[in-house]
Amino acid sequence: MGDIDYQAMEFAYEKRAEQDAGAPARHPVVVVGAGPVGLTTALDLARRGLRVVVLDDDYRLSTGSRAICFSKRTLEIWDRLGVGQRMTDKGVSWNVGKVFFREQEVWRFDLLPEPGHRRPAFINLQQYYAEGFLYEQARAEPNIDLRWKNKVAGLEQDADGVAVSIETPEGPYTLRADWLIACDGARSPVRKLIGQESHGRIFRDRFLIADVKMKADFPAERWFWFDPPFHPNQSVLLHMQPDNVWRIDFQLGWNADPVEAVKPENVLPRIRALLGPDTQFDLEWVSVYTFACERMDAFRHGRVVFAGDSAHRVSPFGARGANSGVQDAENLAWKLKLVTDGLAPETLIDTYSAEREHAADENILNSSRATDFITPKSEISRSFRNAVLNLAKTHPFARSLVNSGRLSLPATYADSPLNTPDTAAFSGRMRPGAVALDAPVRAGGEPGWWLSQLDGDFVLALFCPDQLPDAATLRALAALRLAPVPVKAVLVAGPQCDAAGAPTDITVVSDADGLLAARYDARPGTAYLIRPDQHIAARWRAFDGAAVAAALNRAIGRA
Nearest Cα neighbor of 74 from 435, 314, 324 is 324
Question: How do residues 535-544 score in pLDDT, each as one tens digit?
Answer: 999 999 999 9
User: H/E/C letters for each residue in 156-224?
Assistant: EEECCEEEEEEECCCCCEEEEEEEEEECCCCCCHHHHHCCCCEEEEEEEEEEEEEEEECCCCCCCCEEE
d(CA 5, CA 127): 12
Measure Cα distances from 216 to 129, 212, 245, 281 in Å: 22, 11, 10, 10
Query: Exposed, middle or buried: residue 199 (CB in 10 Å: 0-12, 13-18, 19+)?
Result: exposed
Given a cut of 70, is residue 393 above it in pLDDT? Answer: yes
User: Could you tell me what percentage of the chain is helix, strand and coil, using 3-state DSSP and rounding each to the nearest 5?
Assistant: 30, 30, 40
Q: How confident is the model at residue 1 (pLDDT cuts 50, 70, 90)?
A: very low
d(CA 155, CA 177): 10
The predicted model gives 532-557 an average pLDDT of 97
d(CA 324, CA 250): 24
For the CA atoms of 445, 446, 450, 451, the dihedral, rounded to the nearest 10 degrees, stands at -130
Nearest Cα neighbor of 219 from 327, 93, 313, 339 is 93
DSSP strand pairing (222-226 vs 96-101): parallel
Contact indicator for 250, 228 with CB cutoff of 8 Å = no
The confidence score (pLDDT) of residue 214 equals 93
For the CA atoms of 261, 262, 268, 271, the dihedral, rounded to the nearest 10 degrees, stands at 80
d(CA 99, CA 247): 16
The predicted model gives 367-391 an average pLDDT of 92
d(CA 337, CA 323): 22
The predicted model gives 89-94 an average pLDDT of 96
Given a cut of 90, is residue 204 above it in pLDDT? Answer: no
Given a cut of 60, is residue 2 above it in pLDDT? Answer: no
For the CA atoms of 359, 363, 364, 369, the dihedral, rounded to the nearest 10 degrees, stands at 140
* 131: amino acid identity, one letter: E
Contact indicator for 154, 165 with CB cutoff of 8 Å = yes
The confidence score (pLDDT) of residue 201 equals 87
Question: How do residues 425-445 score in pLDDT, each as one tens digit?
Answer: 999 999 999 999 999 999 988
Question: How do residues 219-277 score in pLDDT, each as one tens digit?
Answer: 999 999 999 999 999 999 999 999 999 999 999 998 999 999 999 999 999 999 999 99
pTM of the model: 0.96
Count of beta carbons in the 10 Å neighbourhood of residue 170: 11
Query: Which helix (H) or strand (E) is 449 found in, with range?
Result: strand 446-449
Given a cut of 80, is residue 60 above it in pLDDT? Answer: yes
Contact indicator for 517, 528 with CB cutoff of 8 Å = no
Given a cut of 70, is residue 344 above it in pLDDT? Answer: yes
Q: How confident is the model at residue 65 (pLDDT cuts 50, 70, 90)?
A: confident
Given a cut of 60, is residue 375 above it in pLDDT? Answer: yes
The rounded percent of the chain whose pLDDT value lies above 70 is 100
d(CA 233, CA 444): 58
DSSP per-residue codes, 31-77: EE--SHHHHHHHHHHHHTT--EEEEES-SS---S--S-EEEHHHHHH
The predicted model gives 519-528 an average pLDDT of 97
Question: How do residues 99-120 score in pLDDT, each as one tens digit?
Answer: 999 999 999 999 888 889 999 9
294-314 burial: b if 16+ Cβ within 10 Å, else e: bbbeebbbebbbbbbbbbbbb
Beta bridge partners of 238: 223, 248
What does the mean pLDDT of the chain come to? 94
